[in-house]
Amino acid sequence: MADLVIRGGRILTMDGAIIDNGVVVVDNGLITFAGKTTNEKAEKTIDAEGCAVMPGLVNAHTHLSMTLFRGFADNLPYDEWTRKIQQAEMKLTPAGVRAGAYLGVLEMIKTGTTAFADMYFHMDEVAKVVEETGMRASLGYGMIEGLNEEPDTKLKNRAEFSRKWNGKANGRITTMYAPHSAASCSKEFLEKVKELAVRDNLRIHIHVLETESELNLMKKRYGMCSINLLKSIGFLGQDVLAAHCVWLSDDDIDILKNNNVKVVHCPSSNMALGVGVAPVPKMLGKGIDVALGTDGAASGGSLDMWKEMRMASYLHKLKDPQVLPASTVLEMATGNGARALGIRAGMLKPGFAADIILIDLKKPQFSSSNLASALVHGASGCDVKTTIVDGKILMENYKLKLDEDKIIEDARHAILKIESNN
C-alpha cells in the first residue's frame, strides 16, 4: 500500500504530457506512478477534481530572512539600497534570522514553492527552520571576504556548516558554498572556495554580473569581467549556480554554456533595483539551464514564484512577443530550478521526489484552452490549494500544518526590533 494517491486532477507532468482525470501515486517520498489509471491503494487519498496537479515550484535564488526587510528600502538606486539594507542587517540577530526564515517558508508553502536555494548568514537557524517545517532547500552560508572574520576562519566555518547540514532532514537539506560575488571576494579566496567545493562534492551559489558597476569594477581590477575571471581560475562548471547574470556579452554566454553553468533569472528584483534585463532568451537559445528566483523580498517584494513567472514572461516580450512561451517559463520554475539545485524533482514521473502542488482551477482566470498559459499569466500564490514536499502534506485545502498566526507575529516583533535599532 502506498502512502498517498492523488486522483481526478489535471496532471501537468512537465515531461511533455497533460493527463486529464489522472492519478499520481506517492510512496516513501517518491512518485511511483503518474498516469491515467491505477488500482493502487494508499493510506491517504486526495481528491484533486477541479485542480491542476504539477511539480512544486523551485525558487533558485533568494535570501530568505530578508522577508523582514520587505519595503524597507524601496525606490532607491542599487548602491543606496545596498547600503541601507546592510546597515539594517548588522542589527539582525540569529533569532531575527529564524523569525524571517519562518515567515519566508510560510509564504513559500502557501504559494506553491517546494524547494529553494538560499544564501545568507546565521544559516544554522535557517537550516533548523527547513528541518522543522518539512521544506526542501539548498543552503549556502554567505561569504563576503573581509567582513566580520578572517578569510581562512570564514572558509573553515563555512566548510563546517556545509558538512554539518548536507543531507540532513531525510535528504531535504543540501548545502552549497556561497561566495557573494567575484567583486566582493578576491581571486585567491574564490580559488579556495572552489577547492573546498570539489573536496566536499558540493555546489557553489554566487552572484554574477548583477550590475553594470560590478562589470566596470572587475574590468578595472582585473582587466576582464567576472565571467572571464571565474573562467581563468577554473571556477566555472556544472556545479555552479550563477544568480542574475544581467550584464553578459555574447562571449560570456558561450562561456556559461560551454561550462554547463546553471543561471538564475530574478526579473522582479532586477527591475525594482533598476540594474538591467538579463539576456534570458539568448541563454535559453544556447541551451543554458535558466531557472527562476525571487531574490530577497527586500528587492523582489515577495517570494511568490507565480509573480516571478509572469514578470519573466512579459519582460522579455517587450522586445519580442515570440520569446518565452508559457511552457518554457513553467519549465524554468520547475525542472530547470531542480537541476540548478541538483535535486531529482521538477517532474511528475516515477523516481522523482514527491514535491507536488495542487492549483484550484475553479476560478474564472483559468477558463482557457491553454493550461500552461492560464497558469503562467493568470495564477498567483493564492490559487495554490495543496502543497506536498517529500510526500508529506504541508498544506491541504489551504490549511497549513504550521501556526501561521504565531509565525507572522514573531516576524512582526523582529521587524519592530530592527526598526527601533535604526
The three-state (H, E, C) secondary structure of the chain, written as one string: CEEEEEEEEEEECCCCCEEEEEEEEEECCEEEEEECCCCCCEEEEEECCCEEEEECEEEEEECHHHHHHCCCCCCCCHHHHHHHHHHHHCCCCHHHHHHHHHHHHHHHHHHCEEEEEEEECCHHHHHHHHHHHCCEEEEEEEECCCCCCCHHHHHHHHHHHHHHHCCCCCCCEEEEEEECECCCCCHHHHHHHHHHHHHHCCEEEEEECCCHHHHHHHHHHHCCCHHHHHHHCCCCCCCEEEEECCCCCHHHHHHHHHCCCEEEECHHHHHHCCCCCCCHHHHHHCCCCEEECCCCHHHHCCCCHHHHHHHHHHHHHCCCCCCCCHHHHHHHHCHHHHHHHCCCCCCCCCCCECCEEEEECCCHHHCCCCHHHHHHHHCCHHHEEEEEECCEEEEECCEECCCHHHHHHHHHHHHHHHHHCC
Q: How many CA atoms lie less than 13 Å away from 253 in the CB half-sphere?
A: 18
What per-residue confidence (pLDDT) applies to 15? 92
Residue with cell 522582479: 268
Phi/psi at 176 (5° precision):
-130, 155
Q: For residues 228 and 118, what is the distance between their CA atoms, to the nearest angstrom?
A: 25
* DSSP type of residue 56: P
Which residues, 6 or more positions from 262, have their beta carbon under 8 angstroms from its beta carbon?
60, 238, 240, 241, 242, 288, 289, 291, 336, 339, 340
What per-residue confidence (pLDDT) applies to 148? 77
* This model's pTM is above 0.95: yes
Cα(first)–Cα(last) distance of the chain, in Å?
A: 57
How does strand 113-120 pair with strand 136-143?
A: parallel
Cell of 168: 540532513
CA 95 vs CA 20, 117, 138, 359: distances in Å = 46, 21, 21, 34
Answer for the pair 140, 178: CB distance below 8 angstroms, yes or no: yes
Answer for the pair 154, 146: CB distance below 8 angstroms, yes or no: no
What per-residue confidence (pLDDT) applies to 81? 96
Answer for the pair 144, 165: CB distance below 8 angstroms, yes or no: no
pLDDT per residue of the chain (422 residues) written in tens, 0 to 9:
999 999 999 999 999 889 999 999 999 999 999 999 898 999 999 999 999 999 999 999 999 999 999 999 999 999 999 999 999 998 899 999 999 999 999 999 999 999 999 999 999 999 999 999 999 999 999 999 977 788 899 999 999 999 999 999 999 999 999 999 999 999 999 999 999 999 999 999 999 999 999 999 999 999 999 999 999 999 999 999 999 999 999 999 999 999 999 999 999 999 999 999 999 999 999 999 999 999 999 999 999 999 999 999 999 999 999 999 999 999 999 999 999 999 999 999 999 999 999 999 999 999 999 999 999 999 999 999 999 999 999 999 999 999 999 999 999 999 998 887 65
Q: Which domains does the chain possess?
A: 2-55+347-400 (2.30.40.10), 57-341 (3.20.20.140)
288: how many CB neighbours lie within 10 A of its CB? 21
As a whole number of angstroms, the longest Cα–Cα distance in the chain is 66
Which strand (E) or helix (H) includes residue 213?
helix 212-222
Answer for the pair 356, 12: CB distance below 8 angstroms, yes or no: no
What per-residue confidence (pLDDT) applies to 422? 59
Q: For residues 127 and 166, what is the distance between their CA atoms, to the nearest angstrom?
A: 10
**Nearest residue to 137 via CA among 58, 237, 67:** 58
Phi/psi at 30 (5° precision):
-120, 155
What per-residue confidence (pLDDT) applies to 149? 81
